[in-house]
Chains A and B, each alone.
Chain A
Amino acid sequence: MEPILQVKDLHVSFQVKGGEVKAVRGMNFEVGKGETVAIVGESGSGKSVTAQTIMRLIPSPPSIVKQGEILFQGQDILKKSNKQMEAIRGKDIGMIFQDPMTSLNPTIRIGKQITEVLIKHQKMSAGEAKKRAIEMLKLVGIKNAEARFNQYPHEFSGGMRQRAMIAIALACRPSLLIADEPTTALDVTIQAQIMDVMKDMQERLGTSIILITHDLGVVAGMCDRVIVMYAGEVVESGTKWEIFKNPQHPYTKGLLRSMPRLDQKKGEPLIPIIGTPPDLIKPPIGCPFAARCDKAMKVCERIDPEATVFSDTHLARCWNLHPMAKEVHPNE
């Protein structure tokens, strides 16, 4: 598959009072044309920062891209001027933000916020844009769209705001869609409907999708490949079959184990991963998961593990998976 996006050795930091928060520490991944890639992982592991860096949307300062390349259709996004970026954003790369309130303007009616984008990027007339905007609102399951068109964001429920934002992102039919927790505030029936809308767009237009989500059920239904992040790094990646049926990294296994199951008996406690992720002001020099890992060995604390490759698509970074691991004594 020809990649539409290649992220190479990306490092992103934030300058804060106490020092430098190293939020993204060497991300590498690709997204193929027409492919859906899920990014899952610990809360605070750098998923949104990665997405916003691709969109060039995090302000600098406080953020600094320390090193790396982001190639979109072969060209480095990090080298584009602000003006060039403005043209790409919304048109070629669409983004659905985790937080609808910061990306919707509270003082402008919902309808106008959609038509503005259409007029700007698609050069539609006001009349055409209105028709299309109402169509888009209906598509994302907003009832009575004509009346809703004239309402303000605060008059929408949480999930309706999220859908309004999805409508904006999809309106211009971008070739890459970055969806950061697009359906967290939605009930499962509307979530399924929106996933269908995205899949349908993908089938018709060959859209590539990066889906950032905590909902592993959605990942299982919607995605081709899965990238698992922890403390600013990719700790495992593979096809969804590899990740769900044959997870290798202790963090991935812990994540899958901590989900409640519908067939679980009443009163059976959930199994979280004990402990907290490392402070990214002083990230550990070794494996970032070491403090919480029940398989940790001495080497884990000292050296960040290399990737072990299981197939063309599946890799994980853990010393226990390393081909030489058997020669290392546990607890040594």
Chain B
Amino acid sequence: MSKGKTLIEVEGLKKYFNVGGGGVLKAVNDISFSIAEGETLGLVGESGCGKSTAGRTILRLYEPTAGSVRFNGVDINTLSPGKMKAMRRDMQMIFQDPYASLNPRFTVTDIIGEALDIHKMAGSRKERKKRVEELLDMVGLNPDHATRYPHEFSGGQRQRIGIARALAVNPKFIICDEPISALDVSIQAQVVNLLEDLQNRLGLTYLFIAHDLSMVKHISDRVAVMYLGRIVELAESEELYANPLHPYTKTLLSAIPIPDPEIEANKKRIIHEDHGNGPIHTDKDASVSGGTYDLENSELVEVSKGHFVSMPKKG
């Protein structure tokens, strides 16, 4: 993997949602990181900690509450709708929920073809059909099934339609939100090899959101751990797994299920005590417990080269 200049720069990004009763839900609460061209940054964390929201806000599918996202040096939140549309071609997302994100009335050809049409990449009818078939083959689906509808596929097959759609427009940056969790492990391996191969050939850059920590370790150059809307640890993947520092990271790594009944039978998990209310902040309850310290008043500190961990702010 040839890592080049910085492609994505996220700075102080926040996304809040209003919830009932004057409450504010700080789904993404001040995150900053950058990703180099050709790099894969893994993003892991508790369910509901804000990973998908972060992904959507980075692509401006949600307007951020605060902060900026620069793509190739350009602040995308300042772009006009027309410029943003063109930019969308370079930045794609594979969605977590393959059911909700595929139009049930469209055939597979239409779903993938639509992406091509939007960016005027389809060419003649024949070329369009050929490109769709090529993409289906690439993700391990039978091109003969191009005329079928999403509900006629299994969960994992639908996920692959979403992957084919994202790849259709030759993007530079892809946010993969749980792209493989619905697939069996042999197809996971196929898809991950495909993503890695495309990265090597075309220099693609990935933000890879997943719960499967073995796979995240495999695919990522660096890994960021999120907890309650914030990044609590970030390091090179080997370093993070060998030397986790934040209590939440330690809990997470201790809970990885190992495909060996003998190891599973003797496993000890670290239980993470958390008495907080999660990311909902009401007027009455403004602070949040991140275990042993106040996350709201924390900062990322570089403890060794490239290894950052969240600590209470000094002073």
Contact = CB atoms under 8 A, between A and B. Distances in A.
A157 B211 CA distance: 14
Interface residues of A, number: 67
A98 B259 contact: no
Interface in A240-283: 240-241, 244-245, 254-256, 258-262, 264, 266, 269-273, 276, 279
Contacts of B148: 16-17
A158 B51 CA distance: 10
B178 A188 contact: no
Contacts of A240: 261
Contact of B46 (A17, A187, A215, A262): A187
Interface stretch (A88-96, A216-224, A324-332): A216-224
Contacts of A21: 152
A188 B257 contact: yes
Interface stretch (A42-50, A110-118, A299-307, A309-317): A42-50
Given A43-B155, A260-B218, A270-B218, A216 B182 contact: no
A186 B280 contact: no
A192 interface: yes
Contacts, number: 192
Nearest to A281: B144
A214 B99 contact: no
A270 B193 contact: yes
Interface stretch (A28-36, A123-131, A142-150): A142-150
Nearest to B155: A98
A159 B48 contact: yes
B244 interface: no
B52 to A, nearest CB: 6
B260 A42 contact: no
A260 B276 contact: no
Given A188-B256, A189-B251, A43 B156 contact: yes
A279 B182 CA distance: 20
A214 B96 contact: no
Contact of A155 (B17, B237, B256): B17
Interface string A188-214: 111110000000000000000000001
A220 B188 contact: no
A150 B47 contact: no
Given A14-B152, A99-B99, A160-B48, A220 B259 contact: yes
Nearest to B157: A44
A18 B107 CA distance: 14
A144 B184 contact: no
A195 to B, nearest CB: 9
Interface in B198-222: 211-215, 217-218
B140 A217 contact: no
Contacts of B147: 17
Contacts of B186: 42, 254-255, 258, 272-273
Contact of A192 (B154, B184, B269): B269
5 contacts: A43-B154, A44-B154, A185-B47, A254-B186, A255-B185
Interface of A: 14, 16-18, 21, 40-44, 47-48, 98-99, 101-102, 143-144, 147, 150-151, 155-160, 163, 181, 184-192, 214-221, 240-241, 244-245, 254-256, 258-262, 264, 266, 269-273, 276, 279
Given A151-B20, A188-B213, A270-B218, 18 more contacts: A43-B156, A48-B154, A99-B155, A147-B21, A187-B211, A188-B257, A214-B156, A214-B182, A220-B258, A221-B257, A221-B264, A244-B260, A258-B186, A258-B189, A262-B214, A264-B218, A270-B192, A279-B144
